[in-house]
Amino acid sequence: MTPEEFAAATNVSRETLERLNAMDRVLMEWSDRHNLIARSTLPDRWARHYLDSAQIAAHLSADVKTLADLGSGAGFPGLVLAAILAERGGAVTLIESTGKKAAFLAEAARAMELSNVTVIPERIEAVKLSPKPEIVTARALAPLPKLLQYAHEIGGENTKYFFSKGQDVDSELAEAATYWQMTVKLHKSLTSPSGTILEIGKLARA
């Protein structure tokens, strides 16, 4: 997938695509020195990472103003969503405890000329956000029961959670139901036949 094919698939604006191209240039520069994403996925990164991240935006209401991304790593999905939400006036907080990854996120956000991004270089457990974000996202961070524990501390009563999950989603949901009450919607992934976007609401301890 090329950047132009990505833009056609997601219907992002020219300005958003320019920002994502700027992110991609920084990502490729850093990938020469750091293993931010698996090197085997670099040739197909616009489908494997950019489209996989951007598809979450289709499930967000148009008036979303605050989003927090947990374990943001190489910016997927948080930095991609920040580029998309910038045109809606949405603010995005990226939480990443690994120093080199937090530094990458900050440099990429500058290259993208995003003023709506805050990078917090701390462990998720140490972060307290106020006000609570409307949306919390995460990708390839932890099994669902552990992920919900992180997310519950970051989100609030009305927060919705969007997590990218693979073929084990059913077993992860079954285990999580032992500890958590929640509403669940499953959205089929656009990028993986076995992938799912989990939409979780009304999260509370069981």
* Ranges of each domain in the chain: 3-205
What is the structure's pLDDT at 35?
83
Across the beta sheet with 117-120, the strand order is: 117-120, 91-95, 66-70, 135-139, 160-165, 196-205, 180-188
How far apart, in whole angstroms, are the C-alpha atoms of residue 135 and residue 66?
Answer: 6
What is the structure's pLDDT at 152?
94
Percent of the chain exceeding pLDDT 70 equals: 100
What is the structure's pLDDT at 47?
95
Tens digits of per-residue pLDDT, 167-202?
A: 889 999 999 999 999 999 999 999 989 899 999 999
Res. 40: pLDDT tops 90: no
How far apart, in whole angstroms, are the C-alpha atoms of residue 205 and residue 182?
Answer: 9
Kind of pairing between the strands at 117-120 and 135-139: unpaired
Tens digits of per-residue pLDDT, 83-116?
A: 999 988 999 999 999 999 999 999 999 999 999 9
Report CA torsion sign: 187, 189, 195, 200. negative
What is the structure's pLDDT at 129?
95
DSSP 113: T
This prediction has a pTM of: 0.93
Res. 37: pLDDT tops 90: no
What is the structure's pLDDT at 105?
97
Give the pLDDT band (50/70/90) at residue 21: very high
Give the pLDDT band (50/70/90) at residue 166: confident
How far apart, in whole angstroms, are the C-alpha atoms of residue 135 and residue 40?
Answer: 31
State the maximum Cα–Cα separation within the chain, in Å, rounded to a whole number: 46
CA distances to 3, 39, 196, 198 from 94, in Å? 23, 23, 22, 19
Q: How many Cα atoms occupy the beta-carbon half-sphere of 151 within 13 Å?
A: 33
Tens digits of per-residue pLDDT, 118-162?
A: 999 999 999 999 999 999 999 988 889 999 999 999 999 899 999
Show the DSSP H helices in the chain as ranges.
Answer: 3-10, 14-31, 45, 52-54, 78-86, 99-111, 144-154, 169-176
Report the CATH fold assignment for 3-205: Rossmann fold (3.40.50)
Provide the terminal-to-terminal Cα distance of the chain, rounded to the nearest Å: 43
Q: How many Cα atoms occupy the beta-carbon half-sphere of 61 within 13 Å?
A: 9
Angle between helices 14-31 and 3-10 (to 10 degrees): 140
Q: Which two tokens stand for residue 195?
A: 């992938």
